[in-house]
Amino acid sequence: MHPTCQHLSGVSLDEKTSKKQDAGKIFLEEVTSPPPDQRGLKRFGRILLIPVLAVFTGLVIGGIFIALTSENIYEAFGRSFGAGLIEALQTVGEAYVALFTGAFGSPVRIITALQSGDGLEIRRAFNPILESLVTSTPYIFAGLSVALGFRAGVFNIGAEGQIFMGAAAATFAGYALKGLPGIIHIPLALLAGAVGGGIWGLIPGWLKAKTGGHEVINTIMMNYIAFRLSDWLLTGPMKRPDSFSPVSPMIEQSAMLPRFFDDPIRFHLGFFVALGVAWLVWWFMFKTTWGFELRTVGANPFASRYAGMNVARNTILAMTLAGALAGLAGANEVLGVNHYLAMAFSSGYGFDSIALALLGNSHPLGVVLASLLFGTLRNGATPMQVSLGIPNDIIMVLQAIILMFIAAPAIIRTIYRLKKPTKEQPVANFKM
């Protein structure tokens, strides 16, 4: 009873500030509200505490799911309870070891490879961790897209569609422009991707600003349009002339993001471009007047209007930039990994990125860290499936559980008996 009531009284306080705001607004506030005023390591620890515990709890519960879905374990439990328990722990352990080696590489293999001095073997040994970075890269771009939207008070559910449009535009720039040097062609193709995604964000942004049409609905609809549009492009105007499958032509060599190592390592420049863009987004959001306006509009549109800001213009700007960032995710995949456009190539980066932005507290640094986690989990899942027959879907279950805990920090606080960071107490003596 006691905690419930405290919670209730807390709700009433919040009501005061959030009246006349829809549920989405309240949610956004929850997501983007900075932690209580603390500096340095303590603050950093506070921010990281919940995500880290959520990941840990997710792994524990994911382990239970792995155990539940393994037939051996039921068999072992049939023999005796102890045997079942041992079998369960062993299976889960093996699964997570496979996940780990799939994501980071096997230490044993790395050492033997280094001792043998065989170039190919060394590259193969180091491939998993670099491949995790490759998988993380589109997540960074798309996560930044959603995070920027959150900060500016808009829900960009349309990252997936923007990824497709960005990829289509980048692909076109990649194969249609010929004879350019890489130093011009690559930025141009990336720019095309940003513009393609940006247009796909601008449309719902403009609709929201001018007509009040809700961006959640409109970005979802824009997703469908983007999927079918890219299908049509691949079967029509952008179809590879000599191919029966619906794929685009290969992009020119000069448009490919350079790779740092020989095959099979696909690690490419895109990762560092993503880090650079993350820094740029951070600088834009927190150091410029544009970013200040975006964040103010996102945090309190009434006050931003009072302060003379143009709410409509900022909404359009936010959605356009969000679209451009997602478009870069698509461009990155085409220019760095696939080198051509195929149907359904993105497989949900845009949707995962919504969750990822939440996990990263809508801060560029948080997004980068969350992207690394997601990329790693996704990359480690395949070997887990191949070597142990544990379904790939477990990783999705794991991600879902982690995100549920992130979205509802109260659960984590309850499990680990953490105190809610209170706002009144640290400054209560100043109220007197």
Least distance to other proteins, CB of residue 431, Å: 3
Nearer to other proteins among residue 15 and residue 263 (C-beta): 15
* 145, 171, 304, 353: residue in contact with other proteins (rule CB under 8 A): 304
* 135 CB-near residues (< 8 Å, 6+ apart): 374, 375, 376, 378, 379
Assigned token pair, 428: 């209560």
243 contributes a contact to other proteins by CB under 8 A: no
* 9, 40, 183, 242: residue in contact with other proteins (rule CB under 8 A): 9
Least distance to other proteins, CB of residue 48, Å: 20
Least distance to other proteins, CB of residue 32, Å: 7
* 68, 111, 307, 344: residue in contact with other proteins (rule CB under 8 A): 307
Select from 11-19, 50-58, 104-112, 274-282 the region that touches other proteins (CB under 8 A).
Answer: 11-19
431 contributes a contact to other proteins by CB under 8 A: yes
Angle at 133 between CA 194 and CA 227, to 5 degrees: 40
Least distance to other proteins, CB of residue 37, Å: 5
Least distance to other proteins, CB of residue 393, Å: 38
Select from 1-9, 61-69, 129-137, 325-333 the region that touches other proteins (CB under 8 A).
Answer: 1-9
CA distance 102 to 127: 9
Least distance to other proteins, CB of residue 426, Å: 7
Least distance to other proteins, CB of residue 317, Å: 13
Q: Which of residues 31-90 bind other proteins (CB under 8 A)?
A: 32-34, 36-37
Residues pairing with 268 in the sheet: 259
3-state DSSP call for residue 342? strand
Measured in whole angstroms, the distance separating CA 119 from the mean position of its chain's CA atoms is 33
Nearer to other proteins among residue 5 and residue 183 (C-beta): 5
Least distance to other proteins, CB of residue 141, Å: 23
* 80, 245, 253, 288: residue in contact with other proteins (rule CB under 8 A): 288
CA distance 430 to 432: 6
DSSP structural state of residue 247: B
Nearer to other proteins among residue 32 and residue 57 (C-beta): 32
CA distance 369 to 381: 19
Assigned token pair, 42: 């303590």
15 contributes a contact to other proteins by CB under 8 A: yes
* 303 CB-near residues (< 8 Å, 6+ apart): 296
Angle at 373 between CA 371 and CA 376, to 5 degrees: 105
Nearest Cα to Cα of residue 58 among 384, 381, 361, 403: 403
* Backbone φ/ψ region at 213: left (φ over 0), alpha (ψ -120 to 50), beta: beta
* 2, 42, 178, 417: residue in contact with other proteins (rule CB under 8 A): 2
280 contributes a contact to other proteins by CB under 8 A: no
12 contributes a contact to other proteins by CB under 8 A: yes
Angle at 141 between CA 288 and CA 316, to 5 degrees: 55
Residue that has been written with the tokens 């451009």 in this structure: 324
Nearer to other proteins among residue 183 and residue 432 (C-beta): 432
Nearest Cα to Cα of residue 174 among 345, 328, 340, 343: 340
CA distance 149 to 157: 9
Nearer to other proteins among residue 32 and residue 248 (C-beta): 32
107 contributes a contact to other proteins by CB under 8 A: no
299 contributes a contact to other proteins by CB under 8 A: yes
Least distance to other proteins, CB of residue 42, Å: 14
Assigned token pair, 357: 């932005």
Nearer to other proteins among residue 46 and residue 423 (C-beta): 423
419 contributes a contact to other proteins by CB under 8 A: no
* 292, 382, 407, 413: residue in contact with other proteins (rule CB under 8 A): 292
CA distance 277 to 283: 10
Alpha helices in 333-408 (DSSP H): 349-359, 364-388, 393-407
* 40, 42, 211, 289: residue in contact with other proteins (rule CB under 8 A): 289
Beta strands in 53-156 (DSSP E): none
In the complex, which residues of this chain contact other proteins (CB under 8 A)?
1-2, 5-6, 8-9, 12-13, 15-17, 20, 29, 32-34, 36-37, 287-290, 292, 295-296, 299-300, 302-310, 423-432
